[in-house]
């Protein structure tokens, strides 16, 4: 992991097309702005992990259904 220090209104660039800017600092909270192409999804990590888990569960169910179809033939 790369750790960087940034102050309010300072930014970092990721891969020439994603800009992360520190918008506000209040106590232990930092407000971050992210400018990225519309085709790049951006999620809070807890939301991303929930989506990933739901997708894995859906894939597991689909695989079980397919296996049951194969076994019933």
Yes or no: say if 1 and 9 are a contact pair by the CB < 8 Å rule: no
The pLDDT of residue 65: 87
Residue located via tokens 């970092």: 12
Helix (H, G, I), strand (E, B) or coil at 17: coil
- Average pLDDT of the residues in 4-16: 96
Per-residue pLDDT tens over the stretch 19-66: 999 999 999 999 999 999 999 999 999 999 999 999 999 998 988 888
The DSSP secondary-structure symbol of 3 reads: -
The pLDDT of residue 29: 96
Q: Is the pLDDT of residue 68 over 80?
A: yes
CA pair distance 70, 29, nearest whole angstrom: 53
Q: Is the pLDDT of residue 73 over 80?
A: no
β partners of residue 25:
30
């Amino acid at each position: 992991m790369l750790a960087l220090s940034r102050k309010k209104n300072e930014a970092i660039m990721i891969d020439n097309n994603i800009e992360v800017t520190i918008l506000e600092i209040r106590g232990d909270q930092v407000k971050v702005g992210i400018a990225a192409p519309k085709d790049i999804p951006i999620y809070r990590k807890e939301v991303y992990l929930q989506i990933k888990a739901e997708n894995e569960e859906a894939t597991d169910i689909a695989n079980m259904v397919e296996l049951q179809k194969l076994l019933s033939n």
